[in-house]
Amino acid sequence: MDTNRGKTYYVTTPIYYVNDAPHIGHAYTTVAGDVLTRWHRMRGESVWYLTGTDEHGQKVMNTAAANGVSPQVWVDQLVEQAWLPVLDTIDVVNDDFIRTTQERHMVRVQNYLAGLKDAGHIYKDSYEGPYCLGCEAFMGEDELVPGIGEFEGHLCCPTHSKPVEMIKEENWFFRLADFAERLIAHYEANPDAVAPRSAYNEVLSFLKMGLKDVSVSRSTFDWGIPVPWDPEHVFYVWFDALLNYATAVGLGDTDGAGAEKFASTWPADVHLVGKDILRFHAVIWPAMLMAGGLALPKQVFAHGWLLVGGEKMSKSKLTGIAPSQIIDVFGSDAFRYYFLRAIQFGADGSFSWEDMAARYNNELANGLGNLASRATAMVDRYFGGALPQVSEYAEADLQIAHLWQRTASAADSAMDTLDFSAAITGIKEFVDALNGYLTEQEPWKVAKAETDAAMARVGAVLTTVCEGLRGVAVMLHPVMPKSTVALWQQIGGQTALGAIELQRIDQAGVWGVLPAGTTTNKGESLFPRLVEDEA
């Protein structure tokens, strides 16, 4: 692991389409990126985390018209009232928020695509075929599925289950087919460039079937970035949107802050995307970069869908749940913990209130929260709230130390493959072991002897538990930033070691960091149990 890298660790989410308010599917991706970048910051790395909104296209234009406002007014309202506030709701710390209606983006898009045209990668032709307005995507007939119910007899988009439109228009095209062999060679030489493995196999299989050139402009509506060499056209929303990852960090700037930022940041280390937009990001996007002579992203990671009632989270299907609906009950830390612990990142996962309530009570309230409460209460009771000097540890204590060292190393390694669930589950299992250790050692019974030897043994047990909680707090801080700050204060970490966000996560496995004399502070319950009507 290189923590002295010269390049900034750069992570992006997709830019989210602003025809409606965000749901927990959007929050899931954004939290994953936030946890990943917090983790790398706590490794001592320079980090840049980008998220934002995709604001052009026919769907936004139609939605704005249906609401009786201009597209710009519509997107301004949604961004200010819904998309920016949700970042605070889910405790995301992003470094930049890009909007595709910003001048910095639009000018850089125009310049870059004009350069591709000048180099011969873009030409004019006509298109006739199916188009899914929900996806804002041109589709091949082999990608469509037969409609059911009211749409029986129609060909439908497999994602939205609604009939596609048949459109015919003159557009500018990108010579995507020219890049098929280069993309295959790139992915065969860099098998981690698309993850998980199922996504890699899908992309490689798709490439080997051959590619067709794709539209880079639209001419039947005007809500988009104008094509500078043909003002009757606007750029196709996907070509506009994909470039955000590069325009946000100074694409095309030859001097000044933009050029410096691009040099230190590009290429992206991880593009987080939903699996439904994988081909845009793993086929069209790298081809666009190849055409401009730019380095390709190190990895595109396609996570699975959040399912409700067996269907993908979707406002249009009335399965969209606002993050606040969950966070108002469980809190933001539990929201972040649950979705990355319960669902394997890269696979589909189902959300249920019952499962979340059960995990909250069992793993957080009864597990981590109760352990912290018991330990600090006993330090207060037996040692006046200060950890004693320990002269000798028993074999059971050393086993906990060794278990934590293995746990911390495994969790840190899991994060390198974006296996959030494995990292969090390993830490959770250590908390279980620490709870079991405390129960087995029974310091409250040992203390009844009131001898020096007995109290020395109690001190060793409680110091072991608090030291375990120190490591847990550090490694769970990227996942649960609020409750781990509270835990850190309860075990005395703030006073003894400094702010938790300044602790090195790659050193969290070192044992014996809390010094003797550390003052603990029994505080409020980290995770108050839910009453039945809440759960």
Percent of the chain beyond pLDDT 90?
A: 83
Q: Is 26 a catalytic residue?
A: yes
Q: Is 242 helix (H, G, I), strand (E, B) or coil?
A: helix
User: What tens digit of pLDDT does each residue of 417-453 get?
Assistant: 999 999 999 999 999 999 999 999 999 999 999 999 9
Q: Is 312 a catalytic residue?
A: yes
Q: Is 132 a catalytic residue?
A: yes
Q: Is 157 a catalytic residue?
A: yes
Q: Sorting pLDDT into bands at 50, 70 and 90, what band is 115?
A: very high
Q: Is 156 a catalytic residue?
A: no
User: What tens digit of pLDDT does each residue of 371-414 get?
Assistant: 999 999 999 999 999 999 999 999 999 999 999 999 999 999 99
CA proximity to 112, closest of 239, 270, 17: 239
Q: Is 445 a catalytic residue?
A: no
Q: What is the spatial distance between Cα 200 and Cα 159, in angstroms, rounded to a whole number?
A: 20
Q: Is 59 a catalytic residue?
A: no
Q: What is the spatial distance between Cα 428 and Cα 418, in angstroms, rounded to a whole number?
A: 17
User: What tens digit of pLDDT does each residue of 20-55 get?
Assistant: 889 999 999 999 999 999 999 999 999 999 999 999
Catalytic annotation, pick one of 7, 160, 162, 317: 160
Catalytic annotation, pick one of 56, 59, 156, 157: 157
DSSP string, 337-406: HHHHHHS-TTS-EE--HHHHHHHIIIIIIIIIIHHHHHHHHHHHHHHTTBPPP-----HHHHHHHHHHHH
Q: Is 23 a catalytic residue?
A: yes
Catalytic annotation, pick one of 23, 56, 59, 303: 23
Q: What residues form DSSP beta bridges with 214?
A: 174
- Please indicate whether residue 368 or residue 130 has the higher confidence score (pLDDT): 368
CA distances from 278 to 62, 159, 198, 454 (A): 25, 13, 11, 61
Average pLDDT of the chain to the nearest whole number:
93
